[in-house]
Structure 1
Amino acid sequence: MKIAIIVNPLIPVPPEKYGGIERIVYMLIQELIAKGHDVTLYANERSKPGCALVGYHESDHYGLPDMIRINALTSKIAFKKFDVIHTFGRMSNIALLMLSKLPKVVSYQLQPTLSQVKKVIKFAREGSVHFTGCSDYISNQIVPYAPVTTIYNGVDTAEYTFTPAVADDAPLVFLGRIQKEKGTDIAIQTALATGRKLVIAGNVPDETIHQAYFEEKVKPFIDGKQVTYIGPVNNSQKNELLGAAAAFLMPVTWDEPFGIVMAEALACGTPVIGFKRGSVPEVVQHGVNGFLCDTREEMAAFAKDIPKINRADCRRIAEGKFSSDTIGNQYEELYKRMVAK
């Protein structure tokens, strides 16, 4: 098949450090190429996707001029003999393509804007659009209004080293953006309550609210002994960090759409202890590859049960549910169904 994939042009594909959607897009492209498909990516001009690239950009404050200019670009897809178009970006950037009979897959990696979903179904060529959600938590919001399939995010498990055992004093790990919604402070309090070491990795967003959170709730506890902050990490560092961890903490205080880092931890054989928010219960099988909890106190209690988890089960579940091969096969099957209509 000849496939056009679109992603918002904010950062390159693949991303150098953080960029969950861009990482998923790159992984999918590699899988599709390996299966013999012809892929063209519409993305940031600095992308290096390993396939044909059509670079484009948006202004800092997306507006009508951006929409008009980008639609002038993407509308040409209808005349280039593509079999299917798959967008991970703004639906407004393919507004004109909605009038085409060309099969279109729209993937939601974040909370769906249901008003946009309903508008697309109303105005798009009938039967030409199918949505995907990165979890049932996302898909279940769309299902009353449009056809949707859950296809989880995932990782190339070959890039993550399975660590079958770690030292008794192996640290807990928090990896992600340092902000209240991610629960960095809860991870710290969990470590303090259990006496375990905690390694924190990730970036502090530039916004004032996040900088203040770091200064008030995180930085005072960083002592370089029990609580260590190592900043952003690249793929190699992430692999080493997660593989050496006793457990990965996911104390989110919002409804996480997926959380790719959970799949990355499991690929290393590292169990996940997370709050029952959003998609976390779909990733964590309680007592099998980690633990689900509701409070900081429960998280600390389950941290004591980490040795009960078989790290081989963590890796097995990652390979079966969240591997790049699994995700690639699922998207390919969806494309085939769309094209066969």
Structure 2
Amino acid sequence: MKIAIIAHSHYPIKQPFAGGLESHTFHLAQQLQQAGHQVTLFAAAGSETTLPFIPFFQPTATNDSIAEEEIVAYRERRYLSLMRVLKQGNYDLVHNNSLHYIPLKLASALPMPMVTVLHTPPFESLVEGFKSSLTASHHRTIAVSKSAAKSWLNAIPNLKTQLIYNGVDTRLWLPTNQQQKYAIWVGRITPEKGLHLAIKAAQLANMPLKICGPIYDAGYFSQAVQPLLSDQAVYLGNLGMQALARQVAQAQVFVCTPCWDEPFGLVAAEALSCGTPVAGFGRGALVEIVTPETGVLVPEDVEALAQAIAQTQPLSRKHCRQRAVERFSMAAMIQRYTDFYQTLVSDRVPFRTTRLPLVS
């Protein structure tokens, strides 16, 4: 199949990844290409050159010199332009990871099917975009978890979704026999990820903690996290996948502290793939990823989390690995996506498209 993938414009799709969505988009494009499909990724400039990508956006998320209204207007113009390119591109299917409302509003203008994936909770502009897309007969929606689907159904009761869990590369996230006495926390460093709570829980559990991930919120890091750092709670920075996989595999426990309802929680699946059990807060999709055989989930409480860290120690690392391979492997995800794509392409009939607005 000839497949176009729309990335969001905030960050380049490259290592070290800014977050789970960047990692997911990278592997999706890579694995579809390796499976023999003709893939074009429309992404921000600076993305990984080994990917079949076209630099359609300038990354703007970290550019504080540009006013927010200018960034919003820029993204709208670029997505409008992209939809015109896609309409003429003779693609079999468009996979939309943009997190932007314009591809949704203009889904009916495309002559090919478009699949949009629910990677986030419902926010206002995206909800309005999805409401517009309900009239596009060839647009389909995928939820990355039951939790994500439920949150969107509360916002749009007639939204139909297909469940396909995100996948991890189980060939990269591998177990090791070289465990060391430390816990590890991985993720974007923002308040809703709850890193400060993980540090406090690890201290109570008398467990050294390693911390990895990009600093998204410098104010939160300096005020809530940095004062808690010590030789027992060490920030390693934002590591590349191979270095990060080694650190996760060597840890005795993976600590996951979402203070919001995570749509998926890729880091937890990566930890299980390494055979590392998870101690975390039972919110969002984490309850779908972690079972009693592979981790301990508790309410959002530091003392309860400290106990959970200790309670994971007897758990079987073999069972953790087995769950990741069976339920959350990259191979399984790609197969489910391509099966779904093929159904849409096989059912394709000539669509009556709408006119796209002109772009200055």
Query: Do the structures match in fold with TM over 0.5?
Result: yes
3-state SS in 2 of match to 1:13: coil
- Which residue number in structure 2 is paired with residue 313 of structure 1? 319
- Which residue number in structure 2 is paired with residue 99 of structure 1? 109
1:73 offset after TM fit, Å? 3.2
1:51 offset after TM fit, Å? 5.0
Amino acid at match of 2:205: T
- Which residue number in structure 2 is paired with residue 244 of structure 1? 250
Using the alignment, how far apart are the partners of 2:189 and 2:11 within structure 1? 20
Superposition map of 1:89-128 within 5 A: 89=98, 90-93=100-103, 95-112=105-122, 113-122=126-135, 124=136, 126=137, 128=138
Using the alignment, how far apart are the partners of 2:140 and 2:303 within structure 1? 42
- Which residue number in structure 2 is paired with residue 137 of structure 1? 147
Using the alignment, how far apart are the partners of 1:299 and 1:315 within structure 2? 22
1:164 offset after TM fit, Å? 4.6
Conserved? CA contact 1:44–1:56, under 8 Å: yes
Using the alignment, how far apart are the partners of 1:219 and 1:96 within structure 2? 45
Conserved? CA contact 2:144–2:264, under 8 Å: yes
Q: 2:156 aligned with 1:150, yes or no?
A: no
Conserved? CA contact 1:142–1:148, under 8 Å: no
% identity of equivalent residues: 29
1:165 offset after TM fit, Å? 6.3
Amino acid at match of 2:200: Q
Using the alignment, how far apart are the partners of 1:335 and 1:237 within structure 2? 34
Conserved? CA contact 2:248–2:276, under 8 Å: yes
Distance 1:289 1:158, change over 3 A: same
Q: 2:175 aligned with 1:162, yes or no?
A: yes
Q: 2:124 aligned with 1:76, yes or no?
A: no
Q: 2:12 aligned with 1:7, yes or no?
A: no
Moved more, 316-325 or 71-80: 71-80
Distance 1:64 1:222, change over 3 A: closer
Question: Over residues 21-58 of structure 1, what are the superposed CA-to-partner deviations in whole Å (9 max), with x where a residue is unaligned?
Answer: 12111211222122221111111233236454322115
Moved more, 109-118 or 249-258: 109-118
Superposition map of 1:173-252 within 5 A: 173-205=184-216, 207=217, 210-211=218-219, 213-224=220-231, 226-252=232-258
CA RMSD of aligned residues (A): 2.1
- Which residue number in structure 2 is paired with residue 290 of structure 1? 295
Using the alignment, how far apart are the partners of 1:69 and 1:173 within structure 2? 39
3-state SS in 2 of match to 1:3: strand
Moved more, 289-298 or 47-56: 47-56
Count of matched residue pairs: 330
Using the alignment, how far apart are the partners of 1:221 and 1:13 within structure 2? 31
TM-score normalised per structure 2: 0.85
Using the alignment, how far apart are the partners of 1:251 and 1:115 within structure 2? 30
Question: Over residues 71-100 of structure 1, what are the superposed CA-to-partner deviations in whole Å (9 max), with x where a residue is unaligned?
Answer: 233323233321111110023146444223
Using the alignment, how far apart are the partners of 1:240 and 1:73 within structure 2? 39
Conserved? CA contact 1:165–1:311, under 8 Å: no
Question: Over residues 260-284 of structure 1, what are the superposed CA-to-partner deviations in whole Å (9 max), with x where a residue is unaligned?
Answer: 1111111111011111111110111
Distance 1:173 1:101, change over 3 A: same
Amino acid at match of 1:74: M
Using the alignment, how far apart are the partners of 2:194 and 2:51 within structure 1? 38
Conserved? CA contact 1:75–1:97, under 8 Å: no
1:20 offset after TM fit, Å? 2.0
- Which residue number in structure 2 is paired with residue 36 of structure 1? 36
Using the alignment, how far apart are the partners of 2:37 and 2:259 within structure 1? 40
Conserved? CA contact 1:67–1:93, under 8 Å: no
Structure 2 residue runs without a partner (length 5+): 61-65, 348-360
- Which residue number in structure 2 is paired with residue 86 of structure 1? 95
Using the alignment, how far apart are the partners of 1:222 and 1:66 within structure 2? 38
Distance 1:41 1:278, change over 3 A: same
